[in-house]
Chain A
Amino acid sequence: MSASAIYVLDLKGKVLISRNYRGDIDMNQIDKFMALMMEKEEEGVTSPILKHNEVTFMWIKYNNLYLVVTTKKNANSALVFVFLHKIVGVFCEYFKELEEESIRDNFVLIYELLDEFMDFGFPQTTDSKILQEYITQESHKMEIIPRPPPAITNAVSWRTEGIKYRKNEVFLDVIESVNLLANASGNVLRSEIVGSIRMRVYLTGMPELRLGLNDKVLFESTGRGKSKSVELEDVKFHQCVRLSRFENDRTISFIPPDGEFELMSYRLSTHVKPLIWIESVIERHAHSRVEYMIKAKSQFKRRSTANNVEIIIPVPHDADSPKFKTAIGNVKYAPETNSIVWSIKSFPGGKEYLMRAHFGLPSIVSEEVEGKPPISVKFEIPYFTTSGIQVRYLKIIEKSGYQALPWVRYITQNGDYQLRTN
């Protein structure tokens, strides 16, 4: 624990706003931060944790802002970083975007929020929905002074009582992101699926929800080992899910927060055939030109279709006069990222497309050594999950006994999808 103070700095290191929580470190110590960071950067030893005499700085960067925590104790660094990212999220929900301007525009509110986020260096409330109930931009216009919502200290700290909807509905999105790392010779080094179940909940009162998945562990323990099921390697749950219950009998039971949230995430490192496979032949003719031949193959079932496919191919930063040839989609040169982007709106399963690109290279070779960024791919395949995970049921029980409809959608998309090149 023990964050001494929090600062928000602009790119030059000027303090935009700060809050001193413990008073054990001189607030001017922050002046050392920028110099320290530059120095480390030059030495090539950048680190999110920097130390100057007895003061430790822990920082993250968001947009053009630095959020910095100082401490001189043996603080819980994991907690500090998770906390910083979390409050960025809260600020974003309050102001749409967190940037220099939104801080100046809302400094009074930010002070109020900082007061609720943390006390004496201990994080307190960082749930934006609950905060919005008693800390609002319009608070001073209201005649009634707000009271702390009971949810802050309740066991159910994420939902307030008395929520009402005319139509009770729940939307479930099962989104699977595929991470892939393949080497230049076409071998898959690593592939994993990171799944996420997101919910949009519009339900009245304090409903009890129970979600049933085709979880292998559950199936085996209940003697349904033969049915098609999925082995979830690591599951992470939202605050609201009763973890000990899950640990005992794999039941996912919870009282959901209102509105949108991520219920759970899971990870599987089963080896799946890469959904979109790229073969590349790159011919570099030093001082004159470089030629690319890119073959994209969709390796999923014919009845599925990948949408908005983008294949991003890195090119040398001094390449010029691009020429492209492709049968499908369109190709754009994006000099700002030193890459070409081949976009295909709709890419059905079991197909193969080809694209050729040609660039001129200057006769004088630049001295700067360039890295070899990998080819990356973006895509979305609706109505399809790679893992085969299925929502078997979502039971909704509320004491008023209303009927509510759950809607489920499945989608598979790219995660960190990288193919190294020669």
Chain B
Amino acid sequence: MTDAKYFANTKKGEIFELKSELNSDKKEKRREAVKKVIASMTVGKDVSALFPDVVNCMQTDNLELKKLVYLYLMNYAKSQPDMAIMAVNTFVRDCEDPNPLIRALAVRTMGCIRVDKITEYLCEPLRKCLRDEDPYVRKTAAVCVAKLHDINAQLVEEQGFLDLLRDLLSDSNPMVVANAVAALSEINETSSTGSPLVEMNAQTINKLLTALNECTEWGQVFILDSLSNYNPKDEREAQSICERVTPRLAHANAAVVLSAVKVLMKFMEMMNMDSDFVNTLVKKLAPPLVTLLSSEAEVQYVALRNINLIVQKRPEILKHEMKVFFVKYNDPIYVKLEKLDIMIRLASQANIAQVLAELKEYATEVDVDFVRKAVRAIGRCAIKVEQSAERCVATLLDLIQTKVNYVVQEAIVVIKDIFRKYPNKYESIISTLCENLDTLDEPEARGSMIWIIGEYAERIDNADELLESFLEGFHDENSQVQLQLLTAIVKLFLKRPTETQELVQQVLSLATQDSDNPDLRDRGFIYWRLLSTDPAAAKEVVLAEKPLISEETDLLEPTLLDELICHIGSLASVYHKPPSAFVEGKTSIRKALPPRAGSTEENQGAIETQQPTVIPSADNLIGDLLSLDISAPQVTPSYVPPTASSNIDILGGGLDSLLGGVSDVPNNTTTPAPPVSTSGLLGDIFGIPSTNAFYTPPKQVWLPAIRGKGLEIMGTFTRRGGQIYMEMTFINKAMQAMMGFAIQFNKNSFGLSPAQPLTVQTPLHPNVSSDVSLQLNTVGPVQKMEPLTNLQVAVKNNVDVFYFSCIVPMHVLCTEDGAMDKRIFLATWKDIPSQNELQYTIENVALNVDTLSQKLQSNNIFTIAKRNVEGQDMLYQSLKLVNGIWVLAELKVQPGNPKITLSLKSRALEVCPSVYQMCEMILHN
């Protein structure tokens, strides 16, 4: 006999019939009737009209019937709140039933009836059940506290349920402890104050760790998840928790494993990186992570998304496990794509041959998305592992020969990046690329191809014809392609002016007169003016050397990564977004990794010279101006207050309209004192020498509006009158006014902290910006950051708290009394051992020694002595940082050679890379 028969009855008048059956005096008939009601409910029919009749059946000693009636109540109580009261008495009575199954059932169901009037009746039975003699009832009651808290948080606090729940953490039964922990975590998460309502202490943690060995797999997950929210007081405590959590890595349940990984990853952060303990732990983490890839596809997917985070945070864990990420033919597509991502992250010189062979195999599969991603991956490998670039290019060429349309297009997009990374190396393949011109129909591929033609116009004989062919359908092109085409033709013109004049005029008029796209028009106008006023300057702008592109892409921002590590296993870790981005309502405190232990310890050994890599980000107008495409690094847009740029008049009034959106910015703000003297970006473009001034880097976007819920913050640092200032522009891009601004710094290497409160003009209305000049002092708490000049900032307003980090240019930290006495200099120079000397070269410095020295001097880097040795000019410099560290420098300049050599000596070697970067920045600006 099956239950299917209960679904059969679907004729008219059913409700009426059921009603009479429910009121029958025969037990058996009533039970059958309730089943029919539930069957109707299951198929989605509204049977709420039967409420009183069903509730009448509640008083029964038949357990099955009771369960069904309870189920009915849960579903319909909300629609019949008044009648639901009828059920209260039975609930209260059932909570005292001699059978624990019924007591638990009653307390479980009561909590699910979200009717305010009922909740007050719930309190007494719940209190009893929390102290029930049977653990099955207690564990159910523990969860019920969370339910009640969800309906009426105030009531729970008033009635002292939180204390009762806390008592359950010491319960003798492990399942009760686990459910109590789950309920508490849930309650803490929704706490309105943002701070947990029930704090964990070392003692409770100890109890939890004991229960961890004994409770069910799910209970273990609850306990581990709540452990991950705990902040151990010191390294030792963290270590002892890790020791007791590590065995969980051998659990068969993947959720237990991932939650254990979360605890370990978080607490490891508190330990010394090189300690044996961390090393063993790192070794222990790899095998269970690999085993997760043998679980069900969906679990694999979650695991892979998390491994993606783990690989970014600690690449050493899985660096030898490349092979396990090889794609299997029958993997679901979402698993394939994630594996590919991780393969690229793990690619290194050691395994690149294998990776490439795999990627090539994947590129011939059938799934279009997967193939595209595989082709892109080959390009990423070329950029990441220099030694493999040649092989990657060969592979890409092979793929282009397949003539499969989307493969060719994807290949061209990545080849453009390879050209960027390794200029003047692989241009021989351009002719092959040009053969495929006609097949390109995707904007990105077309744009890339046009970029390549423009960039190498001097080597492609028929570049003009090729570009002209694109011009025919100019207005049908995607705006990205139009912009590229405009720039490419201007490049062509600058390289081969004689035969392409007509072409350039054509494109300029198409862009400026016939287009509705303001970006395109503006760019057209700028080029036009540049070309007509000063072709030499135009050359410098348009054909400027492009910054390098970085090796790694799609890296998560470090603070976000750290936050996500604290959410391993959860949806946040799958979305790669903080919970606040997708969970509605009040968001709890953002999680962050604990500060690293021993962070003040000196780092031994020389710090590697940092490559000037730039993290690519979205393109912006000025980036485009320099003909950088989408993956180009961000060239900071700088909005220079008009006072500072008296020499930009060459462009005449026309430029005002171009910069229209910019020049009105300072009007409605509490204008800060303009920086003493800045030579803005435009000045730079036109090569106007700008010496004798303290160099203030242009403002950068620190907090993009997307992350700031509409608040955009741009800023820079400067120094005037012996004080450090943080110059910021707050722009409200949201729909509502913002107010209540405040700022705070995290501990940082130089103890920077605000010397005054933040004064943003409030309320900050939508689309209004406010400039702020914040004076800083250096008496705040000190903690070494990586990189050294990293500063983590929190800005609060009425909307939320936002976090970003920025780099403090080193020279604002150089004090005015940094000129060392000559003799002391000499003695110190000799005194510092030679292993404390680092050498760098700075390229492209077209300054003579005097301007160079002057330029440095105005940035508090003082020339102590000058010498001329064998035609080389030697400059001896000194500087002093705000924390009293002295750095001595020797500059070797050869007249006529744009390369200069910089040797740095300091007792604190860590600062040298930053000092080098600073010198380079000053000299290049």
Alpha-carbon gap, A147 to B398, bound state (A): 70
CA distance A56 to B575 in the complex (A): 11
Name 5 A/B residue pairs within 8 A (Cβ), A-sorted: A72-B584, A75-B571, A148-B101, A189-B358, A243-B251
In angstroms, Cα B44 to Cα A418, docked, is: 46
Q: Is the CB of A45 within 8 A of B369?
A: yes
Which residues of chain B have C-beta atoms less than 8 A from A140's C-beta?
Answer: 31, 62-65
A73 to B186, CA, bound (A): 10
Q: In the complex the two chains form, is A79's CB within 8 Å of B221's CB? A: yes
Extra 15 A-B pairs, beta carbons < 8 Å, given A48-B297, A111-B71: A20-B75, A44-B368, A48-B298, A49-B302, A49-B571, A77-B569, A81-B302, A120-B147, A122-B182, A145-B102, A147-B99, A157-B215, A267-B294, A371-B329, A371-B367
Judged by a CB distance under 8 angstroms, whether B326 is at the interface is: yes
A398 to B369, CA, bound (A): 59
Chain B residues with Cβ under 8 A from A81's Cβ? 254-255, 296, 298-299, 302
Contact with A along B18-52 (1 / 0, CB 8 A): 00000000000001000100110010100000000
Does any Cβ of A come within 8 Å of B225's Cβ? yes
Q: Judge whether B301 and A157 touch: CB under 8 Å.
A: no
| B274 contacts partner chain A, Cβ-Cβ < 8 Å | no
Known: A120-B147, A243-B247. A48 touches B174 (CB 8 A): no
Q: Is A123 an interface residue (CB 8 A)?
A: yes
Nearest-neighbour CB distance to chain B for A253, whole angstroms, equals: 13
Indicate if B3 sits at the interface (CB-CB under 8 A): yes
Would you call A54 an interface residue if the criterion is a C-beta within 8 Å of the partner chain's C-beta atoms? yes
Listed from nearest, the 9 A-B pairs whose CB atoms lie closest are: A234-B287, A105-B2, A243-B247, A153-B135, A74-B579, A79-B255, A247-B247, A123-B218, A155-B214
Of the listed residues A72, A147, A153, the one surrounded by the most CB atoms of chain B closer than 10 A to its CB is A153
Question: Is A239 a contact partner of B140 (Cβ separation < 8 A)?
Answer: no
Instruction: Kindly state the separation between the CA atoms of A233 and B288 in the bound complex, as whole angstroms.
Output: 9
Q: Does A72 lie within 8 Å of B68, measured CB to CB?
A: no
Residues of B within 8 A of A (CB): 2-4, 6-7, 31, 35, 38-39, 42, 44, 61-65, 67-68, 71, 74-75, 78, 99-102, 104-105, 108, 111-112, 114, 134-136, 139-140, 143-144, 146-147, 150, 173-176, 179, 182, 185-186, 213-218, 221-222, 225, 244, 246-248, 250-255, 258-259, 287-288, 290-291, 294-299, 301-303, 306, 323-324, 326, 328-329, 332-334, 354, 357-358, 361, 364-369, 567, 569-575, 579, 582-584
Which chain B residue lies CB-closest to A242?
B213
Q: Which of A15, A77, A115 has the most B CB atoms < 10 Å from its CB?
A: A77
Separation of A244 and B209 alpha carbons in the complex (Å) = 11
Is A371 a contact of B365 with CB atoms below 8 Å? yes
Complex: chain B residue closest to A263, CB-CB: B252
B140, A147: Cβ atoms under 8 Å? Answer: no
Instruction: State the Cβ distance, A113 to closest chain B Cβ, in Å.
Output: 11
**Chain B residues with CB below 8 A from A71, complex form:** 571
Separation of A152 and B100 alpha carbons in the complex (Å): 12
Please give, as numbers and ranges, the residues of chain B lying within 8 Å of A122 by CB-CB distance.
143, 179, 182, 218, 222
Contacts of A58 in B (CB 8 A): 298
Task: Check if A44 sits within 8 Å of B579, measured CB to CB.
Answer: no
Nearest chain-A residue to B145 (Cβ)? Answer: A120
Q: How far is the CA of A243 from the CA of B237 in the complex (A)?
A: 21
- Given known contacts A48-B301, A120-B146, A183-B357, A153 and B582 CB-to-CB distance under 8 angstroms: no
Decide if A44 touches B369 in the complex (CB within 8 Å).
yes
Q: Report B912 CB to chain A, min CB distance, Å.
A: 43
Q: Looking at chain A's contact residues, is the secondary structure mostly helix, strand, loop, or mixed?
A: mixed
Q: Which residues of B have CB within 8 Å of A409?
A: none
Query: In the bound complex, do residue B216 and residue A44 qualify as a contact, i.e. CB atoms below 8 Å apart?
Result: no
A127 to B644 CA separation, bound complex (whole angstroms):
74
A230 smallest CB distance to B (angstroms):
15
Which residues from B are CB-within-8-Å of A46? 332-334
- Pairwise interchain contact A17-B214, C-beta atoms closer than 8 A: no
CB-based contact A119/B140 at 8 Å: yes
Q: Is A78 an interface residue (CB 8 A)?
A: yes
The secondary structure that dominates the B interface is helix
Given contacts A108-B35, A145-B61, A244-B244, contact A75 B570 (CB under 8 A): yes
Across the interface, do A234 and B290 meet the contact criterion of CB distance under 8 Å? yes
- List residues 151-185 of chain A with CB under 8 A from any CB of chain B: 152-155, 157, 181, 183
Chain A interfacial residues counted at CB < 8 A: 97
Q: Are B584 and A54 in contact (CB under 8 A)?
A: yes
**Docked-complex contact B175 and A153, CB < 8 angstroms:** yes
Q: Which of A28-79 contact B (CB under 8 A)?
A: 44-49, 51, 54, 56, 58, 60, 71-79
Are B365 and A244 in contact, with the CB atoms below 8 A? no
The contact of A17 among B31, B42, B218, B569, by CB within 8 Å, is B42
Cβ A107 vs Cβ B42 within 8 A: yes
Interfacial residues of chain A within 229-269, with CB under 8 A of chain B in the complex? 233-239, 242-244, 246-247, 262, 264-265, 267, 269
Q: How far is the CA of A1 from the CA of B229 in the complex (A)?
A: 14
Determine if B218 and A78 form an interchain contact, defined as CB atoms under 8 angstroms apart. no
Flag if A106 contacts B3 (CB, 8 Å). yes
Residues A1 and B366 in contact in the complex (CB < 8 Å), given A54-B584, A120-B147 = no
Contact of A108 with B369 at beta-carbon distance under 8 Å, contacts A54-B582, A147-B99 already known: no
Which residue, B65, B135, B216, B569, has most C-beta atoms of chain A within 10 A?
A: B216
Whether B247 lies near A369 (C-beta < 8 A) is no
Q: Which of A111, A190, A242 contacts B68 (CB 8 A)?
A: A111
Residues of A within 8 A of B174 (CB): 153, 155
Inter-subunit contact B571/A77 (CB<8 Å): yes
Shortest distance from the beta carbon of A145 to any chain B beta carbon, whole Å:
5
